[in-house]
Each structure stands twice: as C-alpha cells, then as structure tokens.
Amino acid sequence: MRIKKYIFNKVIEITIIFFIILTILFFLFRLSPGTPISKMVDPTFTLEDQNLLIEQLGLDKPALEQYFIYLKNFCTGNLGFSFHYGEPVSKIILERLPWTILLFTTSTILAAFVGVMLGKIAAWKKGSAIDNFLSISALISHTLFIPWFALLILWFLGFKVGWFPLGGTLSPEIWITEPSLFVKLLDLIHHMFLPLMTLFFIHVGSYLLLMRSSMLGVLKEDYIITAKAKGLTEKSIRNKHAAKNAALPVITSVGLSLAFSINGGALTEQIFTWPGIGRELIFAVSNNDYPLAQACFLLIAGVVLVANLIVDLLYAYMDPRITY
C-alpha cells in the first residue's frame, strides 16, 4: 500500500513539475531574441510579408493569450505545427525519435554493460597490470573530444580504408533498387557501426570508472570479509556479493543516461548525418521554431522525470533496506 501511495504522490509531483517546465519553456522562447522569420534576410521579403507571416503563425497575439492557446492544445494532444517544416510537430518527433533511440540507447546499454563488467574486474584486481590498463584506457575514453574522435574514425575507417560509409543511415544507391529486407537491415547495421563505436568508446570509460570506485568501496565492507571467511569462491564473492551492491550507483547513472539518450547528441548526429532528435533540437532553437523546440524539450523533461521515478523504484527492488 505504501508503495502505491508513494507512486501516486510522485506522479502528482511529476505532473506539477512538468507543467512548470512547460510554462518556463514557453515564455523563455518568446523572450529569446528574434522571431521565426528573423533569418529571412531577403530584400523581396517586404514588411507586409513579415507581418502577414507573424499573424499566420499566431505570434501577433499577446504572449499570455498564446500561452493559454498552447496549453489548451497541449492538453488535447495537439503539439502544433512546426513553423519551419509546416508539418505536425508530433510527426517530426516520431520520425526522428526512433533513430535517436536506436543509436543512443543501444550505445548506452552496450557501454554500461561492458563498463560494469570491466569495472568489476579492475576493482577486483586493484593495482594489477589489468587494473592499470583498464583505468588508463577508461580515463582516455572518458575525456575524448567527440567531434575529433568521430571525424578521425570516419576519416580512417570510412575514407582511408573505406570499410564503412561516411555517415547517414542507409545507402541510397541500394535502397532505390528496392532490395530485400535482409539487405536493408545489413545496410542499416553497416551505417550504424561507426557512430555506435564512437559513442561506445566515449561512454564506456565513465561506466567503468564508476563501477570500479563503487566496487572498491563495497569490497571494504564487513560482509565481504565474512564471505571470504566462509570460504566462498572468488567468483561468487565478486559477482553475487560485491558487484550486485556496487551496481546501485551505476543503475542510477544508466537510468538517467537512458532517459537523456532520447536527447541524442547534436554533435554526433551532425558529424554522422544521423537524422535524430539532437540535430532537430538545435535547429529548432536556432531558428526560433517554438512549437518544435518546446516539444523536444518537453519530451526530454517528461522522460527524465519518469526515469527518475523508475530508478527510485528499482532501488527498492535492488536494495531491500530501502523502503517507501
């Protein structure tokens, strides 16, 4: 019962926070310099044209009136039309989101899994050559500058050696010939390899270091000494007793990273021409495409709030000492 009450209270709290974010976002965009037509620097675009477009976009009304219209539409599931694309915002997000989830969620899960495994080994073998090698590699990976590393990988594996395509999600030359599903799938994986590899290398280090430091803390606990005294095997102590408890902070980190992964990564998406939501978000903000930018931010806010709740609940499941 107590957990149900906790969830109920948390949902109310999340809803209030969400609407506060929505309101702040709405007015923040209206206060930012320029309008959606600011960048139309074409002398044939007359003042009358500008006024007509502002009126057609509904931006001639007072901000408060615009806000209530937006709120009403939002509550009915209408996110509006993108000023720039002239398409429903929900359609644009639904087109972009799967690409971001596919790449960023896959890379986060992969990096977290490998990071936890290697972090566990590094902590267990603290001070050994393996630990030194893994820790230094993780530090290098953690501090890699994404654009530089991505460009380097593309230049070497995509151009110099030529094994992989130079960005994008598919090979147009193949897709226009209407190939089989298998070929399409293979082509997609082929295109996904380099961005996935880049993101994996960049994220794996932080998970490794996090797991290693958490595990080192746990290894000093009394119950580990007790386990050793009981004569349990090394594997059993490491995996069942230490790693399970040490993984708690990693779960928080992975949970939040997964939530933020729908935000994509503008730089990675830009360099690999990956048509995800990160590029779209940057574009929408820089072009004052209010409906699209607001919807992207709200999506991120919503997912992060929900992910927080899920992480809280997972904690209780993983650690019986935590109750609500």
Binding region for other proteins (CB under 8 A): 32-34, 38-50, 52-53, 56-58, 81, 84-87, 95-96, 99, 151, 154-155, 158-159, 162-177, 186-187, 189-190, 193, 269-275, 279, 286, 288
Q: Cα–Cα distance between 205 and 135 in angstroms, integer?
A: 8
Of 33 and 127, which has the nearer Cβ to other proteins?
33
Q: How far is the CB of 188 from other proteins (least distance, A)?
A: 10
DSSP helix/strand/coil, 39: coil
Residue 165 or 255: the one with the smaller Cβ distance to other proteins is 165
Q: Report the distance separating Cα 100 and Cα 293, nearest Å.
A: 16
> Shortest approach of other proteins to residue 138 CB, angstroms?
22
Tell me the DSSP string of 128-154. SHHHHHHHHHHHHHHT--HHHHHHHHI
Measured between alpha carbons, how far is residue 66 from residues 17, 32, 37, 148 in Å?
Answer: 21, 16, 17, 43
How far apart are CB 206 and other proteins at their closest, in Å? 25
189 or 322: CB nearest other proteins: 189
Q: Which is nearer to other proteins, 171 or 308 (CB)?
A: 171
Helix 290-318 to helix 2-31 angle (10° resolution) is: 160
Minimum CB separation of residue 91 from other proteins in Å reads: 9
List, as one string, the DSSP characters of 67-127: HHHHHHHHHTT---B-TTT-SBHHHHHHHHHHHHIIIIIHHHHHHHHHHHHHHHHHHHTTT
Nearer to other proteins, 98 or 217 (CB): 98
Least Å from the CB of residue 12 to other proteins: 36
SS3 assignment, position 223: helix
Least Cβ distance, residue 161 to other proteins (angstroms): 9
| Nearest residue (CB) to other proteins, 90 versus 273 | 273
